[in-house]
Amino acid sequence: MRALLPVALCLLAAPAALADTALLIANTRHDHGQSLRQADEIAALDRSLTEAGFEVIVVENGTAEAMGAGLSALIEAGETERLFIALAGHVVRSQRGTWILGTEADAPDLASVGRQGLSLDVILEVAGQVPGRSIVLIGTEPRGIETGEGLGRGLGPIDAPQGVTVISGAPDDLAEFTRDAVLRPGVDLAAALEAAGNLRSHGFLSAALPFLGAEADVPPPAGPSPEETALWQAARDLNTAGAYDAYLVRYPQGAHAAEARTALAALAAQPVDPLAEAEAVESALNLNRAARQQIQRDLTILDYNTRGIDGIFGPGTRGAIRAWQEASGQEATGFLTERQIGRLREAAAQRAAELEDEARRQREAQELADRAFWQAIGQGQDEAGLRSYLERFPRGLYADVARARLEDIEAARRAEAEAEERDAWDAVRREDSVGAYRSYLQAYPSGLFVPAARARIAEIESGLSPEAQARAEQVEAALNLAQPVRVLVEQRLAAVGLDPGRADGVIDRQTRIAIRAYQEGRGLAPTGYLDQITVVRLLAEAIGGRLFD
């Protein structure tokens, strides 16, 4: 019987002879996020599961505590036969894990998500106690909920335990798949999943071992060993003649031997698809997000635009891979082998070293020119020389000295100026706008601060146009740099001789000046804002391209 509460945690009893157990978590309403439209489809599975002989634990619109209580009830059931878990709610991820949030979750971050949700890793660990007979369904919808630092919406990486079938998709599609395939005795789940077309599997999925046997009163046959199951799953994932041959050599009389021979015959009758085979080879490498991001960084260093360094291999990254493969004399498939990844890493490291050497030579040449010009103006003994030096080397070796001397000159002039002009100049300096300086020049055409006003007007007007600044701000914002990365950028600017101010992750005016100086010195567009190539080159120059190894 369901309790008449906003959160229902109930156990629907089934006949004792069929001690299969199911856990359903369906969070439709959330206090601080959009309501989900289809999560109740998961809760509605309780009847079908009960009719199939399952004891069903249901958590509807549950807090993190209620969901944890439901999982505890599942553990206490001590299931050893068949385990069915279905989840639907707001799902968030980090680089290493995934959580389903409770209804009370409010902008969780990486530190608090464990208190506001239930870890998918823990759920999978429980499912792993019944290998070969456990199914976990994860229902997600593209609906909004705010997340804090370190988290994003949607599924993260899923490392399914041995023998656990994990399937994700829309809740209504998962509910339909459960009724039409999972709970139908003798159904080939792999074939049913392929036919569905709108669901994704992770981990174990055997075509020879249906979730429910063909006859309910006949115990399921003993399955293959975990080692054989793992090898067969790898062969199915690769779906190549070599993979099936490897399985048959190891297990010529194995549980999947007939399927392997059938698959070999089917492959032999089909024309070879090089792209499909290349994709399968890369997929078998099981690259995590960090490895994919490193590949994108390496391609960017080699001037192949991946359209982002996010660990997602979309059209931009695939196009960059193809361009690199073609330029390096390899088959341009857009998919990488392990050997190609190594070659790419080596090429990027070499290019990073070249960029660092080139930057060093540019710095040395600039410093020579800087010192020579300082000597040519008499080491800054007059105002004209100081201003010409700062115009040419605004962040030069003697820039601080030049500005200090100009400030002394201005201070001396201010002391000599009449009170009215001094007050007017101080007001103009506080406003620090082109209009204010032009007003000053109009009022005091022969004033003591005319050279300073004209110099400041030239400095302001040499900046970006409003349109260019807006574009540069958008490009920097799209990088979505975390605070530790911004701190690292400031540290690297300081390491190459620039002064970004305090390394606190706050990009202020002093930091903008340092970024612009770096861009000018490297032949990049001097916007003062970060873009992908500026960040990659700065970090690569700093340590020879080995920062992210």
As a whole number of angstroms, the distance between CA 377 and CA 528 comes to 28
Gap between the terminal Cα atoms of the chain: 56
Q: In the prediction, which pLDDT does 91 show? A: 93
- Contact (Cβ atoms closer than 8 angstroms) between residue 73 and residue 17: no
Q: Are the C-beta atoms of residues 31 and 104 closer than 8 Å to each other?
A: yes
Mean pLDDT (the chain, rounded): 83
Q: Are residues 368 and 516 in the same domain?
A: no
Do both 115 and 94 map to the same domain? yes
| Per-residue pLDDT reduced to its tens digit, 357-416 | 888 888 888 889 888 888 888 887 888 888 888 888 888 888 898 899 888 888 887 777
More confident residue, 108 or 19: 108
**Residue for token digits 């192949």?**
304
Distance, CA of 123 to CA of 67 (rounded, Å) = 11
**pLDDT tens digits for 434-491?**
788 889 899 888 887 888 787 677 566 656 666 777 888 899 999 999 999 899 999 9
Q: What is the pLDDT of residue 59?
A: 94
CB 28 within 8 A of CB 41: no
Report the pLDDT value the prediction gives residue 321, as an integer from 0 to 100. 93
Same domain, 194 and 136: yes
| CA–CA separation, 97 and 126 (whole Å) | 16
Contact 436, 428 (CB under 8 A): yes
Q: What is the pLDDT of residue 128?
A: 86
Cα 264–chain centre separation: 38
Region 288-300 average pLDDT: 92
Same domain, 155 and 184: yes
Distances 301 to 107, 297, 351, 358, 524 between C-alpha atoms, Å: 36, 6, 7, 14, 14
Same domain for 450 and 474, yes or no, is no
How far apart are the C-alpha atoms of 190 and 210, rounded to whole Å?
9
- Residue 437 belongs to domain spanning: 364-461
Residue 7: which pLDDT band, with cuts at 50, 70 and 90?
A: very low
Given the structure tokens 């399952």, which residue do they identify? 54
Per-residue pLDDT reduced to its tens digit, 174-214: 888 888 888 888 777 887 787 777 888 887 676 555 777 65
Residue 27 and residue 109 in one domain: yes
In a domain, 280, yes or no: no
How many CA atoms are closer than 13 Å to the CA of 500, on its beta-carbon side? 25
312 in any annotated domain: no
Q: CA nearest 113: which of 157, 152, 163?
A: 152
Point out the domain boundary residue: 169, 190, 223: 223
Examine the domain organization and report whether 470 and 448 are in the same domain: no
Cα maximum dimension of the chain: 107
Residue 290 resides in a domain: no
* The pair of three-digit structure tokens given for residue 529, joined into one six-digit string: 């804002």
Q: How far apart are CA 143 and CA 114, in angstroms?
A: 21
Please state, in angstroms and rounded to a whole number, the distance separating the CA atoms of residues 549 and 367.
Answer: 32
**Domain identity same for 26 and 108:** yes
- Among the three residues 461, 477, 500, which one is the final residue of a domain in this structure? 461
CA 373, distance to chain mean position in Å, is 47
Banded pLDDT at 19 (limits 50, 70, 90): low
User: Do residues 380 and 529 both lie within one domain?
Assistant: no
The CATH number of residue 531's host domain is 1.10.101
Identify the DSSP state of 62. Answer: -
Examine the domain organization and report whether 393 and 519 are in the same domain.
no
* Inter-helix orientation angle 483-495/509-521, to 10°: 60
Residue 296 belongs to some domain of the structure = no
With bands split at pLDDT 50, 70 and 90, how would you rate the model's confidence at 13? Answer: very low
| 373 lies in the same domain as 490 | no
Q: What is the pLDDT of residue 214?
A: 58
Which of 461, 481, 497 delimits the end of a domain?
Answer: 461
Q: Residue 117: what pLDDT? A: 93
Q: Is the pLDDT of residue 492 over 60?
A: yes
Question: Two tokens at 393?
Answer: 């080397």
Which residue from 53, 230, 44, 20 is spatially nearest to 133, judged by alpha carbons? 20
Q: How far, CA to CA in Å, does 159 sit from each of 67, 104, 181, 223, 302?
A: 21, 27, 24, 22, 32
Residue 221: count of CB within 10 angstroms of its CB: 10
Q: Which of 539, 540, 545, 548 is nearest to 489 (CA)?
A: 539
In a domain, 209, yes or no: yes
Say if 52 falls within a structural domain. yes
Strands 152-153 and 134-139: unpaired
Cα 208 from Cα 205, distance rounded (Å): 9
Q: At residue 546, does pLDDT exceed 70?
A: no
The tokens for 149 are 């630092």
pLDDT of residue 464: 67
Q: Does a structural domain hold residue 311?
A: no
Residue 104: predicted pLDDT: 93
pLDDT of residue 252: 78
In a domain, 277, yes or no: no
Q: What is the CATH number of the domain that holds 90?
A: 3.40.50.1460
Based on the domain organization, do 50 and 186 belong to the same domain?
yes
Residues 6 or more apart in contact with residue 215 via CB below 8 angstroms = 185
User: What type of residue sits at position 532?
Assistant: Q
If one counts the domains in the chain, the total is 3
Of 345, 325, 346, which is closest to residue 335 (Cα–Cα)? 325
